[in-house]
Amino acid sequence: MNVEYREEPCRSALNRVQGMGFAWSLNPYMGCVHRCTFCYVRAFEQRAERPADDRYGTSIRVKTNVAEVLRRELARPSWQREDVAIGAATDPYQPAEGRYRLTRACIEVLGDAATPIRLLTRGPMIVRDIDVLAAAALRAKVRIMFSIPTIDPEIWRRTEPGTAPPHQRLRALTQLVEAGIEVSVGMAPILPGISDKPELLADVVRAAREAGATGIWANLLYLRSGTKEHFLAALERDWPELLPDYEQRYARRAYLSSAETAPLRDHVRELARTHGIRDRRRFKLEPPEDPEQLQLGF
């Protein structure tokens, strides 16, 4: 796949977020070469009249000045050091980061400003930034979440074609936890009839526990117009027998009902308790003690 990288400066770095568990989002890149079949960002791309089909992920915007803009925004007197989520719209550790290092630069800026960080990724490249993440964690809360919906190799290969294998993400998770950084696993999206089988769910929870995850959560597939058309086309190619069921389930809404989602979430919570993830915490990074004032003797 040929990918175009467009180096374009940005006017703003932070985006105000409504109705989420965080107040601000930050995306050093726009567009994602991971090209997951279920990616909810495709819906937003369609609304913005940008390609949401197979062309999505073939053109990546690189915000070359994002760290400088971010530093100016965090220096404003009005900044309240609210949580900033990195990776809400595009993976901050997709391959472009290997060259541009914009995510790393932004983490350094956030750390300097003592601003809490929430970072979501599927990219093991994050281990390269353990030093700046650990430094930031000395000044504010840093939470990392690895997205690992499944560890089944066939499901991963068909639904997350541009991502690193799940076992590589789990190895990276272990390295982060051993460095004292809080890391959880997001099992999302779970695909009805595909990755929601009890044994597959248990495999992910068990692997997350063995890797040292400090938390885990799960959610079922969300299909909004833009994402829906692309996902159903992929489903027809890979699991054609499931297409009628999906068309019926998602005919009138993007979310499945709580009657369908609640049992799965409860099951994953029970698996987490069984495998000891709920209370599993490694050592935390703590700020260094204030240096002792030397007394001069005469």
Residues 53 and 230 sit within 8 Å (Cβ to Cβ): yes
Q: Which two tokens stand for residue 150?
A: 């499944």
Rounded distance between C-alpha atoms, residue 298 and residue 296, angstroms: 7
| Domain-embedded: residue 87 | yes
Q: What is the Cα–Cα distance from 243 to 11, expressed in whole angstroms?
A: 43
For residues 263 and 38, what is the distance between their CA atoms, to the nearest angstrom? 22
In a 3-state reduction of DSSP, which class is residue 293? coil
Q: Is residue 215 part of a domain?
A: yes
Return d(Cα 187, Cα 197) in angstroms, integer: 13
DSSP state of 128: G
Burial of 60 (0-12, 13-18, 19+ CB in 10 A): buried
pLDDT, residue 219, reads 94
Rounded to two decimals, the pTM is 0.89
Could you tell me if residue 220 is inside a domain?
yes
Place of tokens 């058309």: 229
- Give the other-Cβ count within 10 Å of 286's Cβ: 9
- Complete edge-to-edge strand list for the sheet that includes strand 59-62: 4-7, 59-62, 29-30
Nearest CA to 57 among 87, 10, 90, 83? 90
Residue 9 belongs to some domain of the structure: yes
Domain enclosing residue 177, as ranges: 4-274
Report the CATH number that the domain containing residue 66 is assigned in CATH: 3.80.30.30
Look at the chain and report how many structural domains it folds into: 1
The Cα–Cα gap between 150 and 202 comes to 10
Q: pLDDT (tens digit, 9 = 90+) per residue, 221-235?
A: 999 988 999 999 999
H or E stretch covering 14: strand 14-16
Is residue 282 in some structural domain? no
Spell out the long-range contacts of 157-162 with Cβ–Cβ below 8 A and sequence spacing 24 or more: 158/37, 158/234, 158/238, 159/36, 159/37, 159/38, 159/191, 159/234, 160/34, 160/36, 160/37, 160/122, 161/34, 161/35, 161/36, 161/37, 162/1, 162/32, 162/33, 162/34, 162/35, 162/36, 162/57, 162/94
- What is the radius of gyration, based on Cα positions, of the chain? 20
Residues 6+ apart with CB under 8 A from 23: 16, 17, 82, 83, 84
Give the chain's residues under pLDDT 70.
Answer: 47-49, 51-53, 278-298
Q: Is residue 91 a part of any domain in this protein?
A: yes
pLDDT at 19: 80
Residue 291 lies in a domain: no
Q: Please choose, from the candidates 139, 138, 91, 143, the residue with its C-alpha nearest in 3D space to the C-alpha of residue 117.
A: 143
Is the previous residue joined to 287 through a cis bond, with omega within 30 degrees of 0? no
Residue 298 lies in a domain: no
Range list of H helices, the chain = 41-47, 66-74, 96-100, 102-112, 130-137, 153-159, 166-178, 198-211, 227-238, 243-249, 258-274
- The residue whose two tokens read 């919570």 is 269
CA–CA dist 165, 126 (Å, integer):
14
